A and B are shown apart, each in its own frame.
Chain A
Amino acid sequence: MGVVLTPEGAAIEQTALCAICRQNKNLIVLSAGMRDAHGEQSFACDVHFRDTRDLVLGWAIFVANQETVGLYTYGIDGGEYGQAPLY
């Protein structure tokens, strides 16, 4: 089981992209990870937790991508997100 409640309400009515496989899924099968470069909550499918290697590689790629996005969008000091998740 995954996320059951979000600030927007019950998770059963919401979908989100998995940060690893990029598939749109119901939040109930997703797990909440870090916040992305824009400060938005990111998610990963619960199935990726069954294989540590899959999780490690998938998440490392996602984090590096978010760093790049943050760098190009907000600059080297993180801009207005300087205090936020990735920095």
Chain B
Amino acid sequence: MALTEVSMDKPRYIERRSARNSSLSKDIAQHLYTRQLPGVAIVVVENPHIFMSSLRKQWFAILRTVQKERASTLTSERIRELNRQSMYMQRVPMAATVPDPDFKNGVFLVTPTQLAAIPPALHTIYITTPLEAEALNELYDQIPPHSLVVLY
């Protein structure tokens, strides 16, 4: 979708990524690690249940790296920093379902057809499947200001 087709009346961030050098799930897990915002993140995929196991695997691989680094350092400041990351990563819930509007935190994987049912209060949405321009513009209008849309 060309950027000229995106309506500019609502502030938001749009990021384009490619997973050429790594797997898609690894790239999303790394990106989620840098987001670390309280709230809901959505991943739009064709097959949420299959993709979730891959995403969880990559998420825990990053967690292992954090714990390995924590174990190998003697600097108290660095241990504190990595402890915080480790605790944060273990607390993030992941599910292959449309989140309930009451959910305040977590990563949810949905299919493109479930997109209309997602709650508007989210901070990041990863789109890994091609969507029609109309559906994308509807999504852009629905999401809160300053949220991030990542297009693969």
Chain B residues packing against A (C-beta within 8 Å): 3, 6, 8, 11-18, 21-22, 27, 30-31, 33-38, 61-62, 65-66, 69, 77-78, 80-82, 84-85, 145-146, 148
Contact = CB atoms under 8 A, between A and B. Distances in A.
A31 B13 contact: no
A3 B12 contact: no
Contact of B145 (A7, A44, A53, A55): A7
A59 B77 CA distance: 14
B35 A34 contact: yes
A69 interface: no
A56 B77 contact: no
Contact of B15 (A4, A10, A57, A61): A4
10 contacts: A2-B17, A5-B13, A9-B8, A41-B13, A50-B22, A55-B30, A55-B33, A59-B34, A60-B78, A60-B82
Identify whether the interface residues of A are mostly helix, strand, loop, or mixed.
Answer: mixed
Contacts of A64: 77, 80-81, 84
Contact of A34 (B13, B16, B34, B61): B34
Interface string A29-62: 0011111000001001000011011011101110
A4 B30 CA distance: 19
Contacts of B69: 53, 56-57, 60
Contacts of B15: 2-4, 31-32
